[in-house]
Amino acid sequence: MQKQGRELVAFGSAPGVPAVTAAELALTAAALAENAKAPNTRRAYESDWGSWEAFCRAHSFVPLPADPEHVTLYLAHLTDFFGAKGKKLRPRTAERHLAAIATTHCAMGLAFDRHHPALAKTIDGIRRKFNVSQTGARALRTGDIVAICETLGHDIRSLRNKAIILLGFAGGFRRSEIVSLNAEDLEFENGTLRVTLRKSKTDQVGKGRTIVIMPGRNLKTCPVAAVRAWLKAADLEHEGDNPAFRPVNRHSGVELNRLSDRAVDLIVKGACRTAQLKDSYSAHSLRAGHVTESLARGAGRASVKRQTGHASDAMIDRYDREADAVADNSSAALGL
Question: Domain spans of the chain?
Answer: 37-130, 142-320
DSSP 174-223: -HHHHHH-BGGGEEEETTEEEEEE--BTTBTT---EEEEEPPPSSGGG-H
Q: Which of 295, 291, 292, 323 is nearest to 308 (CA)?
A: 291
Residues in the chain: 336
Q: Is the pLDDT of residue 35 over 60?
A: no
User: Bigger pLDDT: 223 or 4?
Assistant: 223
pLDDT at 334: 58
Q: Identify which has the larger pLDDT, 23 or 45.
A: 45
Crossing angle between the packed helical segments 284-296 and 301-308, to the nearest 10 degrees: 160
Question: For residue range 166-195, what is the model confidence (pLDDT) as tens digits?
Answer: 999 999 999 999 999 999 999 999 999 999
Answer with the residue of higher pLDDT: 217 or 36. 217
pLDDT band at 13; cut points 50, 70, 90: very low
Residue 90's closest CA among 147, 59, 131?
Answer: 131
Give the right CATH number for 142-320 from 1.10.1530.10, 1.10.443.10, 1.20.58.110, 3.30.70.360: 1.10.443.10
Helix, strand, or coil (residue 283): coil
* CATH classification (class only), 37-130: mainly alpha
So what's the pLDDT on residue 204?
52
HSE value, Cβ hemisphere, 13 Å, CA-based, for 170: 25
pLDDT, one tens digit per residue, over 139-169 is: 999 999 999 999 999 999 999 999 999 999 9
DSSP state of 333: G
Q: Which carries the bigger pLDDT value, residue 184 or residue 312?
A: 184
User: Can you give the pLDDT at residue 184?
Assistant: 94
Give the range among 30-34, 94-98, 101-105, 180-184 with minimum mean pLDDT: 30-34
Q: Give the three-state DSSP class for 8.
A: strand
Q: Is the pLDDT of residue 38 over 90?
A: no
**pLDDT above 60 (res 22):** no
pLDDT in tens, 53-67: 999 999 999 999 999
Mark out the alpha helices in the chain (DSSP H runs): 22-35, 39-59, 68-84, 91-107, 117-130, 142-151, 156-171, 175-180, 223-233, 261-274, 284-296, 301-308, 314-327
CB 152 within 8 A of CB 161: yes
In three-state secondary structure terms, 173 is: coil
Q: Full-prediction pTM beyond 0.85?
A: no
Contacts of 178 (CB under 8 A, 6+ apart): 164, 167, 168, 245, 261, 264
> Is there a contact between 227 and 167 (Cβ–Cβ < 8 Å)?
yes
30 or 228, greater pLDDT: 228
Residues forming a β-bridge with 193: 188, 213
pLDDT tens readout for residues 244-263: 999 999 999 999 999 999 99
Provide φ and ψ at 67, rounded to 5°: -85, 125
